[in-house]
Amino acid sequence: MVNYKGKTALVTGASGGIGKTYAKELASRGSHVILVARSDDKLNALADELALKYKVDTYVLPLDLSEADSVDELAERIKKLGLDVDILINNAGFGTHGRFETISIDREQEMIRLNISTLVGLTHQFLPYMQQQREGIIVNLASVASFQPLAYMATYAATKAFVLSFSEALYAENRHLGVRVLALCPGTTKTSFFDVMGTTDMPGGIKGTPESVVKTGFKGIEKNRSYIVDGANNYWVAQASRFMTRKAMAIIGERVTRPSK
């Protein structure tokens, strides 16, 4: 069994959805939590709730992690608090939807910074301490979209393919060093993600819950997995690329994800 009690967990994107649920579950297991997102009010409300209910230490660090220097700023603020990070939940991210050429390139680049550059930067920042302690957990939020190209969400799916590959490689590098690295791959989940993206027109609807995703994440860590997919149907979707050519997967995916309007 993995011991969470007394550990310090950094959760990005903690103001709602999967990040908020992760923070609650970690606090319920005795972890102190560092909460990071842009929304100061939501983070403070969550911090007060967790401190009161679970008697853990909570720290609120409002920050826009899509900004170029945000990783260094966050690391410096955590250092000033005198904290070391035992558990890193790289949850912050967003998606875009539509034909690639119609999406603002600034928005695409912002997504790449947050989904990839920030995740890599935070992992690089906090992994060495975990290695020194011969103990630690890193959970990187990937997606069922990590496993195949996804038309009309081309850049988003590509960022999540990166997260999956990156996480599996770090799992292999650190498997004998006491650090568990997991790519957590949800399908469509009932969060504000689709409000930010600007559409709820997803194949099969939006059925997953943050609670299910987080439960699956803890299961993956307990089993020392390199990746785990939330939901049986999502698992088989993820495995489809093993039985079809990449060209076929891209074409079938385009037909399934083609906007209705």
Catalytic center residues: 156
The DSSP line for 166-227 is: HHHHHHHHHTTTTEEEEEEE--SBSSTHHHHHT----TT---B-HHHHHHHHHHHHHTT-SE
Contact (CB, 8 A) for 160 and 145: yes
- Find tokens 């999406």 and name the residue: 103
**d(Cα 4, Cα 179) in Å, to the nearest integer?**
13
Residue 54 β-bridge partners = none
> In 3D, which of 187, 180, 99 has the Cα closest to residue 147?
187
Q: Cβ neighbours of residue 100 under 8 Å, at least 6 residues apart? A: 154, 155
Contact (CB, 8 A) for 230 and 210: no
The values of phi and psi at residue 32, to 5°, are: -75, 145
**d(Cα 91, Cα 75) in Å, to the nearest integer?**
17
**d(Cα 13, Cα 239) in Å, to the nearest integer?**
28
Tokens describing residue 253:
């995916």
94: three-class secondary structure by DSSP: coil
Which helix (H) or strand (E) segment holds residue 137: the answer is strand 136-141
